[in-house]
Structure 1
Amino acid sequence: MPSLTPHQIVAELDKYIIGQSAAKRAVAIAIRNRYRRQQLPPDMRSEVAPKNILMVGPTGVGKTEIARRLAKLTGAPFVKVEATKFTEVGYVGRDVESIIRELVENAVFLVRAEELERVRGEAEHRAEKRLLRILLQQAENSAGFDAEGDEGGSIRQRREKARANMLKLLRAGALDDRLIEIEVEKKRTPFFFGGPGGEQLDLDMQSMFEKLLSSRSTQRREVTVAQAKDILIAQEAEALIDEDKVHPLAVELAENAGIVFLDEIDKITSGHGGEGPDVSREGVQRDLLPVVEGTTVKTRYGQVRTDHILFIAAGAFHRSKPSDLMPELQGRFPIRVELDDLTKDDFIRVLTEPKHSLIKQYQALLAIEGLELIFAEGAVEAIAESAYYVNQTTQNIGARRLYAVMEHLLEEVSFDVPDKLTGKVIIDRPFVQARLGEIIKDEDLSRFIL
């Protein structure tokens, strides 16, 4: 895990998320504390628990994005789950331990990706040798070489020369379009133990059935040399990876660097005025408590301790308040941060400042069709004003409102490119007001509510 300082973490988050400095500081400190904990003596290290975070704020202000970007920035396995998922099918709901199983699966994916990158050089070397052997065999079959009775070794010499020439052409990419046949492995699993109740199936039994029902076979496929190169590299890389090494590393990564984002936690409080009995919501809290508190979860990759996994919970808390959570669960989220509603100025910044802002995305998309999209002075402000107005007069969905507004604003432009529009289009304030003026006039605003 990169040893980024809190200031560096916040600076990276600032590239993608506008405002919310309190939330950014909280997660930056939490991540840095993980690095600090790893430097402690083993006996003290085991005693230092993560300080879980509760984010309170309306939808669309950056709660999920902060957690997601944080995980990507640190290379940590990440899981986002809505707490309401555990109440959808009644009191039993989903098995809350499935959160940790999914986290470990993500950790396995990350570790395997690192291992694949580590062995890539050797895999490319092996794949090149296999590919060269196939190409030479194809050439020999066409030329009718016969080594029997080869007096003086002339055929062998010709083969060595052909091999050197073929290798040169292969590395230069001159053979990329040539068709060859290779063996491709198929793995098929006739049955899948998923769906309701699948997570409850004993993991050892499930693993046994998967091994019994999974079957491997190969088929010959005609592909280009360029395609064959990628397929053979992937096959060789898979063969070089030691799964017995990957799984323990993945478990360790999940235990010490995993991030679980529990969204909509306000909707499982007894104070939330939603449908369904309070006992169901309180039951979910009781089920979540041991996982957040620290327990051992059995997965197909081994036992996973949850003591040092960072849990970030989030909710709007419109109809309830954090104190409506069970006291025991409240105590497991000692850090509380409030995220602010987005203002018109925030919308202007959201549209322009992030690394891949919405305006930059539309400009890049239409540039593919040869259209230069220019936003004149005042246009961005007019877009922000419209989005802010709709949020204030209907349901406030934060920055997500900009998606609907921008799509409506550029609907005709996107439709007419490239058939009717080419060259350059300038978006100015009058253009924005003409296209979005009906938002102001339309009382129910049904077309603009996501």
Structure 2
Amino acid sequence: MNIDDFDDKEYKNHKENKNSQDDFEEVCYLCRRSESKVGKMIHIPNNITICSDCMQKTFDTINKGDNPYMKMMGFPPNMFHLSNEIPGMQKVKKKSEEKVTEEKEEFDRKKLPSPHIIKASLDEFIIGQEHAKKVISVAVYNHYKRIGADPVKDVEIEKSNMLMIGPTGSGKTYLVKTLARLLNVPLAITDATSLTEAGYIGDDVESVISKLLQAAGNDVKKAERGIVFIDEIDKIAKKRNTNSRDVSGESVQQGLLQLLEGSDVEVPVGASSKNAMVPMTTVNTKNILFICGGAFPDLDKIIKSRLNKQSSIGFKADLKDKYDEDMNLLQKVTVDDLREYGMIPEFLGRLPILYSLEMLTKEMLVKVLMEPKNAILKQYQSLLAMDEVELVFDPEALEAIAEKALEKKTGARALRAILEDIMLDIMYEIPKDDNIGRVIITRDYIEGKGGPVIEMRGIGKHKVIAANN
């Protein structure tokens, strides 16, 4: 078509349409990957584009004589749910050159903060756990040094995989989340309770890497230097006194061995399960940092039993109840204790860094309420500040909240539930009166013996809200 055939208005519209089309690139009808990732698309009738990988998989499926998918040769338009599709076009927005360059940028070791800087950043969000923060800072620093440095001749530096033990609510998951956010690396958090041996109902161990690939935006290079946190790792301990097959215990530990050490894993792209119509990609786990965490209930009994073996009759004998009141008994854990708990030696050998978190004390819980950047009290104070009301907690009130949390024995998790209950009436009543200027939470209000102190603007103090029942 010649330009002479258009008048000025038509030519302008044609140019605008062409420019808008250039802002998009084609995507595969089946796997939804863009042309920049999979190469040139194959065009078939009905304006459908398919990448060469999916086309080959389709042919492989059709060539099976007894397959149930012969209907797919017609490619019905409603065969798959299409997301992010622009009406009338099977295309997606092209990424800008800046973003593409940014994604392809290699890992720079010089930008990695040193251990003391990593720990100082963690200190802003996490109270206590000084030993744990120091261990994880050094381990992560050494791990990413290993990735970014040129290989040393005749020296192979092994991975710094970690096993983190701590009571519930001590901050295991929050510690890893904060670390990944500070380092700006992909993080996948998975639960070991859903993992089973291949062939049984549940998730295969490869699903751990699938989640990491999704967290990295299906960028394999980015995923290969990410962090995987496997929570509830104590749930895959060997089952005792069972006559059935242990498909979610020792067999899962065996399946994780190659992932922890480093191997090539075939994982689906853009899906959580493998099937014939989903393209696969290979992810190498050699440079992926694995952090396993668990509460390990009843592990303290094994530790106590080992420590009490020396107890006997005599002047140097230990008392059998010596460790009954030790809140941080998990700090004395050894590899032998974990083996007796049900973790196999091969699995523990691939987690060379072992450390424990402390049980939160009353003083630590008070600090958790007040000091972190995103402390719970600061959140409530910000909410009331939007109504131009100042929220103040008496020091004794904070101690009362911490005491209630200790009774629940769920660590820092209990603080939010207690505060939600305490603040319910206040958050409900305060917006009714624009004259309220300050709310002071007292110990009596926490214990249900009175109400909070309300200060009206320019008037004085009086209590107006009844105590919780």
Return 5+ residue gaps in structure 2 as ranges: 1-107, 270-279, 300-336, 452-467
Q: What one-letter code is carried by the residue in structure 2 that aligns with 1:305?
A: N
Higher alpha-carbon deviation: 94-103 or 340-349: 94-103
Residue in 1 aligned with 2:447? 433
Which residue in 1 is equivalent to 2:222?
Answer: 253
Give a deviation string over 1:64-108, Cα, whole Å, max 9, x none: 011111111001110000100114999452121121122122222
CA deviations 1:337-364 (Å, max 9, x no partner) are 0111110001011001101101101111
Instruction: Report the Cα distance in structure 2 between the residues aligned to 1:347 and 1:273, rounded to whole angstroms.
Output: 39
Cα deviation for residue 275 of structure 1 reads 12
Over 3 Å counting, the alpha-carbon distance change for 1:62 and 1:304 in structure 2 is same
Listed as ranges, the matches of 1:215-226 within 5 Å are: none
Structure 2 equivalent of residue 373 of structure 1: 391
Whole-angstrom CA distance in 1 between matches of 2:263 and 2:198: 25
Equivalent residues in 2 for 1:107-186 (5 A)? 107-108=216-217
* Equivalent residue number for residue 370 of structure 2: 352
CA offset digits 1:245-288 (Å, max 9, x no partner): xx6xx322222x21000100101101579998534312211221
Paired residue secondary structure (1:382): helix
Structure 2 residue identity aligned to 1:328: E
What's the offset of the Cα at 1:429? 2.1
Q: Which residue of 1 aligns with 2:263?
A: 295
Aligned partner of 2:357 in structure 1 is 339
Q: Give the aligned partner of residue 419 of structure 1.
A: 432
Indicate conservation of the 8 Å contact 2:196/2:247, yes or no. no
Given the superposition, is the C-alpha separation of residues 273 and 339 from structure 1 closer, same or farther in structure 2, using an over 3 Å criterion? farther
Give the C-alpha shift of residue 428 in structure 1: 1.9
Q: Deviations over 1:319-343 (max 9, x none)?
A: 3552221111110111110111110
Q: Which has the higher contact order (CA 8 A, sep 6+)?
A: 1
Q: Deviations over 1:379-413 (max 9, x none)?
A: 2122212222x23xxxx211001011111111110
8 Å CA contact 1:372, 1:423 repeated in 2: yes
Distance 1:45 1:385, change over 3 A: farther
Could you give the per-residue CA deviations for residues 201-228 of structure 1, whole angstroms, max 9, x where no partner exists?
xxxxxxxxxxxxxxxxxxxxxxxxxxxx
Structure 1: distance between partners of 2:114 and 2:184 = 15
* C-alpha distance 292-38 of structure 1, shift in aligned 2 (>3 A): closer
Contact 1:352–1:360 (Cα < 8 Å) also in 2: yes
Match of 1:56 among 165, 171, 174: 165
Match of 1:319 among 283, 298, 302: 298
Whole-angstrom distance in 1 between the partners of 2:115 and 2:243: 41
Q: Which residue of 1 aligns with 2:410?
A: 397
The amino acid of 1:371's aligned partner reads V
Displacement of 1:38 in angstroms is 4.2
1:366 to partner: Cα distance? 1.8
User: Matched residues, percent identical?
Assistant: 42
Cα offset, 1:39, TM superposition: 5.1
Instruction: Provide the secondary structure at the position in 2 that maps to 1:401.
Output: helix
Matched, 1:265 2:233: yes
Q: Where in structure 1 do 4 or more consecutive aligned residues deviate above 6 Å?
A: 272-276
Counterpart Cα distance in 2 of 1:410 and 1:275: 51
Question: What is the one-letter code of the residue matched to 1:317?
Answer: F
DSSP-derived class of the 1:417 partner: helix
The CA deviation string for residues 31-82 of structure 1, in whole angstroms up to 9 with x for no partner, is 2113422453336599322211101111110100111111110011100001
Range with greater deviation from structure 2 (338-347 or 92-101): 92-101
Compared CA separation, residues 432 and 89, structure 1 to 2 (3 A)? farther
The aligned residue for residue 29 of structure 1 is 138
Counterpart of 1:200 in structure 2 is none
Shift of 1:8: 0.6
Query: Separation in 2 of the partners of 1:104 and 1:45?
Result: 32
- Alignment partner, residue 422 of structure 2: 409
Instruction: Specify whether residues 273 and 436 from structure 1 end up closer, same or farther in structure 2 by C-alpha distance, changes over 3 A only.
Output: farther
| TM-score normalised by structure 1 residue count | 0.60
Q: Which residue of 1 aligns with 2:285?
A: 306
